[in-house]
C-alpha cells in the first residue's frame, strides 16, 4: 500500500494505532490557514513505485516547500527534515 494525502477534519493523528513519532519542525513565520497548508502539501503527489519521490521524500519535501513559500525559516526546515529522517530510521517495518 502506498501513501497519499488525506485531509481530515477534527482528527488527532497521535491517537492512531499507526502513529510512530511526533517531530518538531519549527514555528511558522506567517500565519496560514489549513487550506493554504493543504494546497502547498498537495502540489506534488508521491510516486509509490519510485525510489526518487516516494512517501519519505514527499513528506521531507513539505518543509522545503514551506520554506520556499516564506512560511518556515531554513534552519527550522533543516531541523525538521533531519528529525523526520531520524524518526524514519527508528521506525519498525510494517507487517
Domain that holds residue 43: 33-88
3 assigned to some structural domain: no
For residue 30, what pLDDT is reported? 92
- By the 10 Å C-beta count (0-12 exposed, 13-18 middle, 19+ buried), 71 is classed as buried
11 assigned to some structural domain: no
Q: In this structure, are residues 69 and 52 in contact, taking their beta carbons and an 8 Å threshold? A: no
62 assigned to some structural domain: yes
40 assigned to some structural domain: yes
- The pTM of the full predicted model, rounded to 2 decimals, is 0.75
Domain count, the chain: 1
- Measured CA to CA, the distance from residue 3 to residue 55 in angstroms comes to 6
More confident residue, 51 or 78: 78
Handedness of CA 11, 9, 27, 19 (dihedral sign): positive
Q: State pLDDT tens for residues 63-84.
A: 999 999 999 999 999 998 899 8
Amino acid at each position: 500500500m502506498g501513501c497519499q494525502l488525506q485531509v481530515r477534519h477534527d482528527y488527532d493523528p497521535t491517537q492512531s494505532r499507526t502513529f510512530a513519532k511526533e517531530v518538531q519542525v519549527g514555528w511558522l513565520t506567517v500565519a496560514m490557514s489549513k487550506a493554504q497548508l493543504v494546497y502547498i502539501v498537495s502540489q506534488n503527489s508521491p510516486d509509490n513505485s519510485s525510489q526518487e519521490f516516494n512517501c519519505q521524500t514527499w513528506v521531507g519535501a513539505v518543509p522545503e516547500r514551506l520554506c520556499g513559500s516564506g512560511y518556515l525559516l531554513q534552519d527550522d526546515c533543516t531541523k525538521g527534515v533531519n528529525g523526520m529522517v531520524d524518526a524514519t530510521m527508528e521506525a519498525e517495518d510494517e507487517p
